[in-house]
Amino acid sequence: MQIYTVEAILLVFLILITGCIIYERDLLSAVMIYCAFSFGAVLLYLMMGSPDVAFTEVVVGTVSTIFYVIALKKIDRWCK
Amino acid sequence: MQIFFLVIMAALIMTIGLMLQRLFQGPTIFDRMNGLGVITADTILLIVLFGFLDKQPGMYVDLAMAYAMMGCLGSVVLAKYLGGKKL
Amino acid sequence: MIFGFNGQEIIACLLMGAGLVFLIGSMVGMLRLPDYYSRVHASGNSETLGTLLVFLGLMVFNGFSNVSAKIFIIAVFVFLGNPIGSHILAKAAYKTGHPVWTKKQAVQHELSTEPTSSIATAEEKEAQANADLHG
């Protein structure tokens, strides 16, 4: 029974993070919040009982954050 | 013993919730990265405790190991990006 | 001493309780401390120690098996990774001139945001603050 309550908390956590990414003006901050989003997604995949998908999500989440930061290094970092 | 795992998981989820406030509202990028570091450490703990909650931690512990290795890469890359030549 | 647990679980409970204390301590530190540099202490040091203690409790709870060996490896990586991440960020922040919080600056900020009606008390507070600093 405890599984479902923790899963509900995580879903709310993910929706909160997505909303905040949309309203973020600073690109670099949006990338950082995206990294937190990938943590939540990993936990959610785990709760649904699929460790292999969670493994790829760990690697994809971390490496894509690094690529975003490197891409931001090239273009001008537009922030408020 | 299950109750003890649930107590620690509740404390971790509360910590992550509070760190979200720091992550969203933090004035500078460094405050946000600070919150992110705390969330990384908490997620690793949450995964391992979650494995013990299901009584078969074998599946979850490997994932936490991957996370522990990859966890701090974001901080290092961002510090190198923000530090520039001076770092 | 069976209070619903055997000896091994009691030790695991004690270790995890200690870990929990440090985790709560670091959370309070993260919320209360005024500046980035002071908050890095909370997230870099006590968070890592809390995590290590909880992992130690889990290893005791699990006895000798490959799972507890993996938990030990995780503890080693967290013990290495977390402080490194915090340190390199704090160094980058310092090198790029992130403002350092000082008590004098906080007092001035407090003075500037005070309502204008109590001008008289502002001078006394300023004097007291200076005396406090030099004292």
Which residue range is the domain that position B75 belongs to? 2-83
First to last CA, chain A: 45
CB B52 within 8 Å of CB C71: no
- Which residue from A35, A43, A51 is facing B59, i.e. has the nearest CB? A51
**Which whole-number Å values give the CA distances from C41 to A70, C26, C32, C49, C89, in the listed order?**
28, 9, 12, 12, 12
Residue C53 has pLDDT above 90, yes or no: yes
Element (H, E) at C65: none
Same domain, C68 and C113: no
C13 inside domain: yes
Q: Do chains C and B touch (3 or more CB pairs under 8 A)?
A: yes
Q: Is residue C70 part of a domain?
A: yes
**pLDDT per position in chain B (87 positions), as tens?**
788 888 888 898 888 888 888 888 878 888 888 888 998 899 899 889 988 888 888 888 888 888 888 888 888 888 888 877 777
Which tokens is C46 given? Answer: 């006590």
The residue of B12, B28, B75 whose CB has the most chain C CBs within 10 angstroms, and thus the best one to mutate to test that interface, is B75
> In terms of domains, do C93 and C125 share one?
no
One domain for residues C54 and C110: no
A43 closest CB neighbour out of B43, B77, B78: B43
- The interface predicted TM-score of the complex, written ipTM, equals 0.84
Residues C95, C125 within the same domain: no
Instruction: Please report whether residue C1 resides in a domain.
Output: no
Same domain, C45 and C89: yes
What's the pTM? 0.82
C94 and C106, same domain (yes or no) = no
pLDDT at C70 over 70: yes
**Is residue C93 domain-shared with residue C33, that is, in the same domain?**
yes
pLDDT in tens, A21-76: 898 888 888 888 898 899 889 888 888 888 889 999 999 999 999 899 888 887 76
The pLDDT value recorded for residue A79 is 53
Lowest mean pLDDT among C44-48, C72-76, C116-120: C116-120
Domain total in chain B: 1
Per the structure, how many domains does chain C have? 2
Q: Which chains touch B (3 or more CB pairs under 8 A)?
A: A, C
The alpha carbons of chain B give a radius of gyration, in whole angstroms, of 15
Give the structural domain span for C34: 7-99
Chain B nearest C-alpha distance from A25 (Å): 11
Q: Do C31 and C82 share a domain, yes or no?
A: yes
Subunit contact A35:B36, Cβ cutoff 8 A: yes
Integer CA distances (angstroms), C25 to A17, C46, C83, in order: 25, 7, 17
Residue of C14 and A26 predicted with greater confidence: C14
State how far residue A36 is from chain B, nearest Cα, in angstroms: 7
Q: Nearest Cβ partner of B70 from A13, A29, A59?
A: A59
Q: How far apart are CA B81 and CA A66, in angstroms?
A: 10
The verdict on C86 and C109 lying in the same domain is no
User: Is residue C130 very low, low, confident or very high in pLDDT (cuts 50, 70, 90)?
Assistant: low
- C67 with C106, same domain: the answer is no
> Is B20 in contact with A66 (Cβ distance < 8 A)?
no
Give the C-alpha separation, A52 to B59, whole Å. Answer: 9
With CA atoms as reference, the chain C residue closest to B43 would be C51
